[in-house]
Amino acid sequence: MKRKRLGILTAGGDCPGLNAVIRGAVKAAHRHGYEIFGFLRGFEGLVEPVTYIPLTARNTTGILSQGGTILGTTNKGRFAARAGVDQRVDLDPVLMAEVQATCEQLELAGLICVGGDGSLTVAQQFFEWGIPVVGVPKTIDNDLSATAFTFGFDSAVACATDALDRLHTTAASHERVMVLEVMGRHAGWIALYAGIAGGSDVILLPEIDWTYEALCRKILEREQEGKRFTVIVVAEGATLPDGRMVASGNAAGCRQVRLGGIGTIVAGEIERRLHRETRVVVLGHLQRGGAPTAFDRVLATQFGAHAVRLVIQRRFGQMVCYRPPEITSVPIAEAVRSLSRVDVHGSAVQAARALGISFGDELDPTPPFQEDVQTGDMSLMALCGEPETERESMALSAREPK
Binding residues vs ligand F6P (CB under 6 A): 13, 75, 116, 139-141, 183-185, 236, 251, 254, 258-259, 288
CB of 242 to ligand F6P, least distance (A): 21
Specify whether the backbone of 356 is left (phi greater than 0), alpha (psi in -120 to 50) or beta: left
- Of 16 and 184, nearer to ligand F6P (C-beta) is 184
CB of 139 to ligand F6P, least distance (A): 5
Q: Is 209 a catalytic residue?
A: no
Cα distances from 84 to residues 133, 241, 341, 396, in angstroms, run: 23, 21, 15, 8
CB of 363 to ligand F6P, least distance (A): 26
- Of 112 and 246, nearer to ligand F6P (C-beta) is 246
Burial grade of 315 (CB within 10 A; 0-12, 13-18, 19 or more): middle
- Of 159 and 216, nearer to ligand F6P (C-beta) is 159
> How many angstroms separate the CA atoms of 102 and 282, rounded?
41
- Of 184 and 304, nearer to ligand F6P (C-beta) is 184
Catalytic residue among 141, 201, 209, 296: 141
SS3 12: coil
- DSSP tag of 91: P
> How many angstroms separate the CA atoms of 295 and 66, rounded?
14
CB of 259 to ligand F6P, least distance (A): 5
CB of 137 to ligand F6P, least distance (A): 12
Reference 231, options 159, 156, 175; nearest CA is 175
Longest dimension (CA), the chain: 75
Q: Would you state the torsion angle of the CA atoms of residues 284, 181, 156, 186, taken in this order, to the nearest 10 degrees? A: -100
Give residue number: closest CB to ligand F6P.
183
| Residue 205 identity | L
- Of 218 and 288, nearer to ligand F6P (C-beta) is 288
Q: What angle do CA 139, 145, 149 make, to 5 degrees?
A: 50
Residues catalogued as catalytic: 141
